[in-house]
Amino acid sequence: MKKKFSILLLMFSCMFMIFAGGEKEAVADDGVLDVALLINGNLGDKSFHDSANNGMKLIESELDAKTKVIEVGYDQSKWEPALRDLCDEGHDIVICGTWQMQEIVTNIAPEYPEQKFIVYDTSMDYANDSEGAYDGVYSIEYKQNDGSFLAGVLAASMSETGSIGFVGGMDNTVILDFLVGYIQGAQSVNPDIKVIPSFVGNFSDAAKAKELTFAQYQMGVDIVFACASNATDGVLQASKERGNLCIGVDSDMAMLYKDSDPELANLIISSVLKRVDKSLLISAEEAVAGTLAYGSAVGLGINEDCVGLADNEIYQAQVPSNVRELVNAYTDQIKNGEIEVVTAFGKSKAEIDEFIETAR
């Protein structure tokens, strides 16, 4: 009887593999999802990396999954070896993010055809993947320009000088996508608004970010939107020293500082949320269900509740009701497709620079 049962089980397994295309399953044989995350930076940024780490906590708690997070730091020479180590460990899914990891996954994915990957805040070059090297890679991109459009509406509505600032980490496409959305949103409220952008050159130098923020204040800026990961703290500290309002990024920064530094928290009128955590949970849920579309990219935004402005007690207290209503109205228009938010993706550097110049 046991022999017959074993034969039937083997037949069923073979039939399943045929219908499944012979691909590796998303969940190990023990039924427990095993997911690993590589942080190509440092935790404690109260921003992008912490959000990804929180996503792993959600995956563990919501899906009873086994998770592992490794924090590699900003030494780029360590990133590829660390990712290879995770692939060698046999996790069901290996997750990493940022545009800097795209090239590394491009190198590694063909060598690990059975390994499933999720990359966030970037996308593989699927159009030129004639060999199917990225068939096991799922890409998550974010419509950060939608969220930063709302930040522009907020900043322009709250500005008393008609001049607002933007401090980005690096002058790359993702950060520029934040910037162009911010400019468009601000111009929607005040066509004559001035937007002064500065770039740190990395995502870790908080001292330089602070220096750039002070320089913007001296130029007449009264509200600064920070998009610089760990370096964002420099913008916040400059705002605190000057007593100026500011806008955070990725996580709800006002709530993060509410208890430890209430003075600073009350100056952070909102943050552009980039819900890496929620997007990773959604993707893991789809992986378990067998519906995750490996070999393709998805763009998540306001409609998926993965991008938007933080609406908390400080936002409610510091932002007048008419401004909150205006933000809500613009949110609805973006959702309904009435407003098409400008994006840096698909544009040349010259085209992006030309758009930025409209707010000088």
Could you report the per-residue pLDDT of 73-120, keeping only the tens digit for each?
A: 999 999 999 999 999 999 999 999 988 999 999 999 999 999 999 999
Residue 30: pLDDT band (50, 70, 90) is low
The predicted pLDDT at position 26 comes to: 55
**What is the pLDDT averaged over residues 133-143?**
96
Once rounded to an integer, what is the mean pLDDT over residues 313-332? 98
Q: How confident is the model at residue 25 (pLDDT cuts 50, 70, 90)?
A: very low
- Report the DSSP beta bridge partners of residue 226: 167
What would the mean pLDDT of 334-354 be, rounded to a whole number? 96
pTM: 0.84
State the Cα–Cα distance between residues 10 and 113, nearest whole angstrom.
Answer: 24
User: Would you place residue 12 in the very low, low, confident or very high pLDDT band (cuts 50, 70, 90)?
Assistant: very low
Average model confidence (pLDDT) for the chain?
Answer: 91
pLDDT > 70: percent of the chain:
92
Tell me the pLDDT band of 2, cut-offs 50, 70 and 90. very low
What amino acid occupies position 89?
A: E
Confidence of residue 22 (pLDDT cuts 50, 70, 90): very low
